[in-house]
Structure 1
Amino acid sequence: MKFNYSPAPNYRSTNSTKRIMFELLLGLIVIYLYSLFYYATNYGSEYVVQAVLIMAASLGGCMLTEIVWALVIKKDVVSYLKGSFPWITGVILALMVSVNTHWYAVAVAAVLCTIFGKLAFGGFGQNIFNPAAVGRAIILTAFSSMVATDITTGATPTTLMANTYSWCVTDAGMVNELLNSVGGLGGLLFGSHPGALGETCGILIIVVGIILAVRKVIDWRVPVVYIGSVFVMTAVMALFKGMGMWYPVYHVLSRGLLFGAFFMATDPVTNPTSASGRVIFALGCAILTVLIRVKANLPEGVLYSILIMNACTPMIERACDCEQIKGLRNAVITFVCLAVVGLGCGVLAIHAVEPATAQTPVEEENNSSSGGSETGMDFNTEITSTTENSDGSVTYTVSVDGYAVYNHADGKPNVIEVTVLDGTVQNVVVVEANDTQHVGDQIANEDFTSQFAGMTLDTLEVEPLSGATISSNSAYHAVLAALEQ
């Protein structure tokens, strides 16, 4: 019998799984602590409490599920947990959700993602999908409307770009307005913006990611290829559409991409084991991220691109599982073909997207006019009830069209109560804000409605919310209808 074999050198790493997971946990904790500092200084202690509840719910759900599982299979609980690392899944899941997510939704998602994203495949080291990503997908699909009471934040850079500008802006004035609303490209890199807890500060994510890569906790190839491919692909799209080089930089500095590239796509369990396989994996994530952002009905594409590529990992492994020289040749051919197809799909996708303009309600919303008259839209209003108050004032309940009506077939109008005394606005209360969550529904905040107090027909104007001008003008026309009545 004849045996053919190819000997290869073997390298024994000093890195242990426990050390890698410990250092990864430290990096994640640094990012979490900064998010607590950010919300404490910008929003108040209520947001810090909410962030702590989210982390506790996530960690509790993941760890309790694995404790119960260890008892079921009759394993020593402490030894089992030391080899399963449920706290890593819990921390990453908590960092992937926004601060206004209800803790109950996080706890349920933590339990389900541990069961179906990890234990169902045999536990740590055998799962196909990133468990934390599975948990985040569960929250998006099953608990998208469940938010913490009175916890609201402004639009994130990706939400603003997707809902207001449809990921395509060619007008110079609108580009300036977009960049100013996020503090410029420098603001995206060094500044802080609300969103997922782990996406608060871009430069911190990069610094922690670089340290982990130097320490060989994560494979540097994955974030470099992932982020670099997104930059190249969007740069080609920008040149094709005439948008300028700010466009790829905006894509890269959107926090979801940075966090996903450094802390999710680098998961050694769910991505290929070979270096060439990981490069192909990262390229696939980049292509899917850009296509989902530009063409799908989602503001961010990182989560689902990673889950899709997790499913492709076995196929990538088989393609790279051969002799070293042949495997390298196959990997190069696959990478080049995938890159060409990805660029072609990107160009076709951006070609089909109409650039955002101040006249089209594809935006939620970007016209900065102060009265709504320049939006080119009809804000239909109807006074549904009138209540006379004991002090002589009158409260009008006004149903008025907003962003939801103009952009959704089943969209509902906003319902606003306006109290008027002697032709002067006394108070404005938004009873129902049916426009985009976390964007247009910000008109319900007292900081916005209080600006109308003391205004008359002659002085009525509105200071639009950033990224929500149609909703702002909806409120303006509700007040106008009450004053005219």
Structure 2
Amino acid sequence: MKFTFNASPNLRQSQSTKQIMLELMLGLLVVFGFSLVYYNSVYGMEYALQAVKLMVVSLVVALVTEIAFAFFTKKDAKFDFAYIKQFLGSSFGWITAIILTLMCPISIRPYALGVSTFIAIFFGKLLFGGFGNNIFNPAAFGRAIVFATFMGATTDVVTGATPTTLIATNYNWLVVNPEMIQEMMSEVGGLGKLFTGWYPGAIGETSALVILLVGVILAIRKVIDWRVPVVYLGSIFLLTACVALLRGVGSYEGLPGFIWYPLVHVLTGGVVFGAIFMLTDPVTSPTSAQGRCIFALGAAIFTVLIRIKANLPEGCLYSILLMNMLTPMIEKSLEGKQLALRKKAWIISGVVGVVGLGSVLLAGNVIEAKEPAPKVFLKTEDKDVNKFEAKITATKDNGDGTATYKVEAQGYASTEDASKFNKFDIVVNTKDHTIVSVTPTEVVDTEYVGDKILNEAFLSQFKEQKLSDNIEVEVNDAVTGATFSSKSTVRAVEEVRKALGY
């Protein structure tokens, strides 16, 4: 990395602050536009309108908060439209509102986003003296409030687990076994989907492709400093590549572990969004080029450590807030004649890099890699299966050599209410008594757990098994978390076996 130093007086850039913020807003709206296209295409207009509603709520709260603050702090100025326009034009609260909205999931309730926007604007920026005086990135501050306070405040608009949540919760951010690598990447959709952002997540953080294209344009326009995202993303890649080499992460689709594993870290969550739109904030980051590079390097180290050691779904947000606190120290350490600080800047960067690499490798060495869970099988002869009640309610000859048995069997719901039964249609070949299909027609067990028995990977195991034999199916992986319901399914099959004299 080459640092450019200029002796004072320095040349000023041609863009005004207002122009920079305008171009930044346009870039953010491009990202928001992509999210609207995604949600409308995949989930329907209701979801796209929900995203628009959230954006409107955040913008309105931000503007009302700033207007109210302007009124109570106006002193001797005349409070009129011209004053409000001047205040808002130098505060840029709408930028914070847009960024905060893009950082939140579409399932958040509007009131939760509104409260977080107020806290971000009022406590994160205005109480510090307004734009240019705040210590923390206001949007990151507001998002931290959402994490800490409003995670349960969700609407019925739900899209499922995000890749970062899934990788952190189910895979501990580290998989070595080839089988687990394939399973994890299959669940997150592969590198291509992670790059394009065609998956649910925070409203504006998913598409690395769109964000990077916008970032390149903003860097060319000198709206952001290109060094910050390059150092941040590059450092995350190198640090996680070292973890992959240390732990022997296997290959995926021909890519060695030290390539695909770092790419997963870079492409998931808010890493790319944070690199382009948040770490480049000129107010809460160092003013010098070398200071910004140290700032980005430190944020990368914190991001990786928080992910692999704290096992949190997202480390980017907290790394930004932590580095915001360290910005004054970075500025202090690089005071003096700029031309004399070249060597000092390299020394600080080297020390931070070495300490950060050592910390990441130490953390990476002690975390437990996710290994395949032992296989769990259910058999029709198992006592745990036969403790449930089951009954055949109807039998139908299909006229094609098969018969359909309508069976009811107890499952998890029966532990609370013995009258509740799961219902199944079991089709049997009447000649050789093999199973043609098992289809749950009504599942009364816990939603999102019991109904996992609808998974074709589980049901397909019954096909062509002979009823004269003890039926055996694998529970693990196919319907993880649905043990009771799986037993209910096997119990229904056992009832058919009994009816046929086995």
TM-score in same-fold range (> 0.5): yes
CA distance in 1, matches of 2:143, 2:63: 17
Distance 1:279 1:46 in 2: 42
Q: What do you get for the CA RMSD once the two structures are aligned?
A: 3.7
Q: Does 1:142 align with 2:149?
A: yes
Alpha-carbon offset, residue 108 of structure 1 = 0.8
In structure 1, what is the equivalent of residue 423 of structure 2?
Answer: 420
C-alpha spacing 1:7/1:21, structure 2 compared with 1 (3 Å)? closer
Once residues 165 and 34 of structure 1 are traced to their aligned partners in structure 2, the CA distance between those partners, rounded to angstroms, is 29
Aligned to 1:66: 66
State the Cα distance separating 1:155 from its structure 2 match: 2.5
Question: Cα–Cα, structure 1 residues 124 and 477, in superposed 2: closer, same or farther, change >3 Å?
Answer: farther
**Partner residue of 2:33?**
33
Alignment of 1:454-465 (within 5 A): none
The answer to whether residue 216 in structure 2 is matched with residue 201 in structure 1 is no
Distance 2:242 2:123 in 1: 39
Task: Give matches, 1:159-308, under 5 Å.
Answer: 159-243=165-249, 244-245=257-258, 246-308=260-322
Residue in 2 aligned with 1:339? Answer: 353
Contact 2:411/2:485 (CA < 8 Å) preserved in 1?
no
8 Å contact from structure 1 (residues 235, 248) kept in 2: yes
Q: CA separation of 1:425/1:307 partners in 2, compared to 1, >3 Å: closer, same or farther?
A: same
- Structure 1 stretch 207-216 or stretch 6-15: which is displaced more? 6-15
1:69-96 alpha-carbon deviations (Å, 9 max, x no partner): 1111125212111111111000000000
Superposition deviation, residue 46 in structure 1: 1.9
Deviation at 1:238, TM superposition (A): 0.9
CA distance in 2 between counterparts of 1:417 and 1:292 reads 45
Q: Cα distance 1:19–1:286, how it changes in 2: closer, same or farther (>3 A)?
A: same
* 1:116 lines up with 2:123 in the alignment: yes
| 1:422 Cα deviation from its structure 2 partner | 8.5
Contact 1:35 1:198 in 2 (8 A): yes
CA contact (8 A) 2:101 2:203 kept: yes
Shift of residue 385, structure 1, vs aligned partner = 11
Deviations 1:298-357 (A, max 9, x none): 111000000000011111110111111332222111110000001000110010011111
Rg comparison, structure with higher value: 2
Query: Aligned-pair distance for 1:394?
Result: 5.9
- SS in structure 1 at match of 2:38: helix
The alignment status of 1:471 with 2:481, answered yes or no, reads yes
Distance 1:240 1:422 in 2: 51
CA 1:249–1:484 in 2, change beyond 3 Å: closer, same or farther?
A: same
The answer as to whether partners of 2:409 and 2:488 remain within 8 angstroms in 1 is no
Partner of 2:3: none
> What secondary structure sits across from 1:222 in the alignment?
helix
Alpha-carbon distance, 1:448 to partner: 5.9
Tell me how far 1:470 sits from its aligned partner.
2.2
CA distance in 2, matches of 1:444, 1:90: 39
Q: 2 CA distance for matches of 1:78 and 1:60?
A: 15
Instruction: Within 5 Å, give how 1:254-403 maps onto structure 2.
Output: 254-359=268-373, 372-373=376-377, 396=410, 398=412
Q: Matches of 2:143 and 2:295 in 1, distance apart? A: 20
Opposite residue 141 of structure 1, the aligned amino acid is A
Query: What TM-score results when the alignment is normalised by the length of structure 1?
Result: 0.81
In structure 2, do the counterparts of structure 1 residues 201 and 421 end up closer, same or farther at CA, with 3 Å as the change threshold? closer
Name the residue aligned to 2:400.
none
Cα gap change, 1:7 to 1:340, in 2 (>3 Å): closer
Give, in angstroms, the shift of residue 191 of structure 1. Answer: 4.8
Tell which deviates more after alignment, 27-36 or 191-200.
Answer: 191-200
Distance 2:306 2:173 in 1: 11
SS of equivalent to 2:204: helix
Q: Find the aligned partners of 1:416 and 1:445 in 2 and give their Cα distance.
A: 21
Amino acid at match of 1:177: E
The answer to whether the Cα contact below 8 Å between 2:57 and 2:110 also exists between their aligned partners in 1 is yes
Aligned-residue offset at 1:17: 0.5
Matches of 1:24 and 1:72 in 2, distance apart? Answer: 29
Check 1:422–1:354 CA distance in 2 against 1; reply closer, same or farther (3 A cut).
closer
* Closer, same or farther: CA 396–18 of 1 in aligned 2, 3 Å: same
Instruction: Give the AA of the match of 1:9.
Output: P
**Are the aligned partners of 1:280 and 1:335 in contact in 2 as well (CA < 8 Å)?**
yes
- State the match for 2:15 in structure 1: 15
Distance 2:324 2:244 in 1: 29
3-state SS of the aligned residue for 1:470? coil
Distance 1:480 1:310 in 2: 57
Counterpart residue number, 2:435: none
Between 471-480 and 415-424, report the one with greater CA deviation.
Answer: 415-424
Matched residue type, 1:107? G
Q: Tell me: CA distance 1:232–1:395, structure 2 relative to 1, closer, same or farther (3 Å).
A: same
Inter-CA distance 12–171: structure 2 relative to 1 (3 Å threshold): same
How far off is 1:58 after superposition?
A: 1.3
Gaps of 5+ in 2: 1-5, 250-256, 394-405, 427-438, 496-502
The answer on 1:93 being equivalent to 2:123 is no
Identity among equivalent pairs (%): 45
Shift in Å, 1:67:
1.2
Q: Distance in 1 between matches of 2:195 and 2:419?
A: 38
CA distance change for structure 1 residues 295 and 57 in 2, over 3 Å: closer, same or farther? same
Q: How far 1:213 sits from its partner (Å)?
A: 0.7
Question: Residues 281 and 28 (structure 1 numbering): CA distance in 2 closer, same or farther, change over 3 Å?
Answer: same
TM-score by length of 2: 0.78
| Alpha-carbon separation, structure 1, partners of 2:134 and 2:276 | 19
Offset at residue 398 of structure 1 (A): 1.3
Report how many residues are paired: 441
Classify 1:417/1:214 alpha carbon distance in 2 versus 1 (closer, same or farther; 3 Å): farther
User: Once the 2 structures are TM-superposed, how far is the Cα of residue 289 of structure 1 from its aligned partner?
Assistant: 0.1
